[in-house]
Amino acid sequence: MSDFFMNTYHRLSPVFSEGKGSWLTDIQGRKFLDFTSGIAVNCLGHGYAPLVEALSRQASRLIHTSNYFQSDIACAFAERLVKACSVAGMKKVFLANSGAEANEGACKIARKYSSEKYGAGRHKIITLKGSFHGRTITTLAATGQDKFHKKFGPFTEGFAYISGGDIQALETALDNSVCGLLMEIIQGESGILPQNEEFVKTAARLCAERDILLIVDEIQSGVGRTGTFLACEDYGVKPDLVTLAKGLAGGIPIGAVLGGEKTAGVFEQGDHGSTFGGNALAAAGGLVVLETVDQKDFLRGIQNKGGRILSAISSWNHPKITALRGKGLMTGIDISVEAWPLLEAAIARADGTRSGLLILSAGPKTLRLLPPYTISTGEIDEGLAILKETLDADA
């Protein structure tokens, strides 16, 4: 491990040098089945041939132009992305480089929309307790968890938090000081916690009635992760803004803010920008992801694989598992013991003969599984067997 990095991450021991499909190899030659996809990023697995080919081809043709210009590949990607999100009413996109940057863009659109229409003072953005929206000063402020609001103040003002599912609190919070409601349809970092349908539908109705923008953060739940292209599709709501990142370019940094009828035209020249946003290489990766994932059969495959994971784990009736939930290839497992030592134990199992398993936590006592969409059913079963063995140890 290198000492040259700032000490921001609680890291696990492997130092990886190669990946193929659902497998990663570390510098000691140990093999690991990857149930993390780089936290929902490598959605097509490692070294996915069409992605590698498209990136190599693009790298030799054109990597980047500034946003003084458009590139053919970014134009094709933007059109394909808007099409994939058209079921949620999206019409245009702004391309950025990360989830936090996408959420920043969405907050700016909400504030501009409101200030132009209603004047100053209607700038508050409501978010949900337990949410995670990023690590910039503004997206930390948007994140509804006190532990993120301690060391880096003053934070961007104008954010307030309510509990997901609390319709009464929603009714009260969405007053005439509010320009936007920002929510993850399924909270990822807090434990794969889906919002209940009535809450989401009421939120959409109240936002429409009060001309408050509904912003859906699909950075972890989007791009097919739950078995529909966007998780909000299943709730039948049409948000005003959708943010995406993570898996959107299969591992190349990317972020996107998509706007619908009310919001697609809010940003005007000079309002926003990003040097790398719309980068040709990221667009080439994104196009492969969209062409692969945004297909009925492929999405059905994600649903089926997710169903296999849920039914296998629930059939264990494991004494350490206190709750299980998930949608598509996004699974949360509450356990009665600390999660981190299990992540370490699943890794420590790897030696010259046996492979290890990479899993994530989402909170101190929740395990999170985010395998690549391309994982085979055999690999799912193999990984789950390691997970069970890890849970069984010291049971």
Ligand X SMILES: Cc1ncc(COP(=O)(O)O)c(C=O)c1O
Closest approach, Cβ 392 to ligand X, in A, equals 30
Q: What is the DSSP letter of 303?
A: H
**Is the Cβ–Cβ distance between 231 and 218 less than 8 Å?**
yes
Q: With contacts defined by CB under 6 A, how many residues of the chain interact with ligand X?
A: 14
Q: Should residue 99 be labelled a site residue for ligand X when binding is judged by CB under 6 A?
A: yes
Q: Which member of 104, 217, 240, 334 binds ligand X (CB under 6 A)?
A: 217
Q: Cα-flanking dihedrals φ and ψ of residue 154, to 5°? A: -75, 140
Nearest to 32 by CA among 352, 357, 371, 346: 357
**Is the Cβ–Cβ distance between 290 and 85 less than 8 Å?**
no
Provide the sign of the torsion angle of the four alpha carbons 133, 134, 139, 144, taken in this order. positive
Q: Which member of 189, 233, 334, 379 binds ligand X (CB under 6 A)?
A: 189
Q: Which member of 220, 228, 361, 390 binds ligand X (CB under 6 A)?
A: 220
- Measured torsion, CA atoms of residues 40, 94, 231, 359, in degrees rounded to the nearest 10: 10
Which span (184-192, 227-235, 288-296, 354-362) binds ligand X, by CB under 6 A? 184-192
Q: Should residue 104 be labelled a site residue for ligand X when binding is judged by CB under 6 A?
A: no
Q: Should residue 327 be labelled a site residue for ligand X when binding is judged by CB under 6 A?
A: no
How are beta strands 31-34 and 23-26 bridged, if at all?
antiparallel
Q: Should residue 98 be labelled a site residue for ligand X when binding is judged by CB under 6 A?
A: yes
Q: Should residue 100 be labelled a site residue for ligand X when binding is judged by CB under 6 A?
A: yes
Q: Should residue 184 be labelled a site residue for ligand X when binding is judged by CB under 6 A?
A: yes
Q: Should residue 362 be labelled a site residue for ligand X when binding is judged by CB under 6 A?
A: no
Q: Cα-flanking dihedrals φ and ψ of residue 342, to 5°? A: -70, -35
**Is the Cβ–Cβ distance between 192 and 330 less than 8 Å?**
yes
Q: Contacts with ligand X in 113-172 (CB under 6 A)?
A: 132-134
| Nearest-angstrom CA–CA distance, 337 and 321 | 9
Which span (72-80, 96-104, 157-165, 380-388) binds ligand X, by CB under 6 A? 96-104
Q: Should residue 45 be labelled a site residue for ligand X when binding is judged by CB under 6 A?
A: no
Interface contacts to ligand X, rule CB under 6 A: 98-100, 103, 132-134, 184, 188-189, 217, 219-220, 245
